[in-house]
Structure 1
């Protein structure tokens, strides 16, 4: 509906700031009569459409939307981190393994991290450590990945992501022993978690993002 602005009174608009040509920015309910009269004198013939107020939908805050990660590398590492620690960056278990991905001190030293306090207080450092360790394990196990991927070993479908997850749990040496013994040489960690369980639970993720690196380390961990 079109109306001349001269016929309108100025109403507060939810406290929002508005701009009127060369005049100063003010809240709608702060405009003086002098400012309003000056504006009306300059814009006497101004005509415009007055839109109806939009209907605001009621949000159900009990509903939460999460990104669909599928079988991506991010999905892989998040699933593994949840399994290891519930995704807690600061947790230390009964055996001294630390952080979201439950790293031991020896593994951290191999990838260039010696300050465990810094490690526990830096999510960025822990994520970098996970990638570096996966890249190192992928290089060590590159021949086994090529040889056993998409084969069945002792009833378990072997995939690259399953191999990398099992290596995270048990170390690459124990993964080699398991695969090359046709699954008879197994491994359980201190809590009784089996390497077989990790092969199964983490199979089929896309871990092509991880580039094999013999000497993978976290560079400049003190600044992450």
Structure 2
């Protein structure tokens, strides 16, 4: 019992003695004599270290602009806008197509827009134009949507969103020709983008909120 008490008392006394010696020493550490010269110091962490692939940002133009919108209708129209103009409301391309969704002048006239300057400077109007044009195209293509959705043409699954995206690119008439010729009549625009490409790229989005309307207008 006495030995146990002595061992408990001896340990704190030893620690105190060592601390006293270290602080009372005349020697001091001269930090100036230490240097990192010649050492390889590399603290850079690679971009994808410990980061899952599905949260890495992508700069590829053919990827969806946002990883959060998924296959929703907002995801559909924003992905289409990104492909058309990079999402730029003020964009005018070399063929004179205008705005975030790259509308042609004749299409704008059909949905009630005649003032192009006003159109370019009004994002809200551009969004209305997109909705009106989609509703009009859905009405024109209503029978083709019924007859072809779920089928495959040249290996591409036909979906309603693919049809509407292709109609935005080429007009509903060109989409009818593509579907009814089973892909033989495949319109391409001035940049070489085809109906089939848009059918594939914009497949499977939810466009159920677009209601067919023959007389749809933006204004």
Global fold match (TM > 0.5):
yes
Three-state SS of the structure 1 residue aligned to 2:179 is helix
CA RMSD in angstroms, aligned pairs only: 1.5
- Compute the TM-score of the two structures, normalised by the length of structure 2: 0.69
Three-state SS of the structure 2 residue aligned to 1:138 is helix
| Aligned residue number for residue 34 of structure 1 | none
| Aligned residue number for residue 85 of structure 1 | 85
| Aligned residue number for residue 190 of structure 1 | 190
CA distance, structure 1, for counterparts of residue 95 and residue 155 of structure 2: 31
Greater helix fraction, Structure 1 or Structure 2 = 2
CA distance, structure 1, for counterparts of residue 194 and residue 68 of structure 2: 29
TM-superposed CA distance for 1:68, in Å, is 2.2
| Aligned residue number for residue 159 of structure 1 | 159
1:10-159 alignment to 2 at 5 Å? 68-159=68-159
CA distance, structure 2, for counterparts of residue 175 and residue 206 of structure 1: 19
| Aligned residue number for residue 179 of structure 1 | 179
Three-state SS of the structure 2 residue aligned to 1:178 is helix
CA distance, structure 2, for counterparts of residue 123 and residue 151 of structure 1: 36
Three-state SS of the structure 1 residue aligned to 2:208 is coil
Three-state SS of the structure 1 residue aligned to 2:162 is helix
Three-state SS of the structure 2 residue aligned to 1:168 is helix
CA distance, structure 1, for counterparts of residue 209 and residue 69 of structure 2: 14
Larger-Rg structure: 2
- Compute the TM-score of the two structures, normalised by the length of structure 1: 0.68
TM-superposed CA distance for 1:67, in Å, is 7.6
Where has structure 1 moved over 3 Å in runs of 4 or more?
Answer: none
TM-superposed CA distance for 1:155, in Å, is 1.6
CA distance, structure 1, for counterparts of residue 87 and residue 67 of structure 2: 17
TM-superposed CA distance for 1:214, in Å, is 0.3
CA distance, structure 2, for counterparts of residue 137 and residue 72 of structure 1: 19
TM-superposed CA distance for 1:206, in Å, is 0.3
Greater strand fraction, Structure 1 or Structure 2 = 1
| Aligned residue number for residue 33 of structure 1 | none
| Aligned residue number for residue 200 of structure 1 | 200
Alignment CA distance shift 1:113-1:155 (3 Å) = same
TM-superposed CA distance for 1:69, in Å, is 1.4
TM-superposed CA distance for 1:154, in Å, is 2.0
Can you list the C-alpha shifts for 1:176-206, whole angstroms capped at 9, x where unaligned? Answer: 0000001101110001111111000000000
Can you list the C-alpha shifts for 1:47-102, whole angstroms capped at 9, x where unaligned? Answer: xxxxxxxxxxxxxxxx99x7821211100000000000000000100000000000
CA distance, structure 2, for counterparts of residue 67 and residue 144 of structure 1: 31
Give unmatched runs, 5+ long, in structure 2. 1-55, 58-65
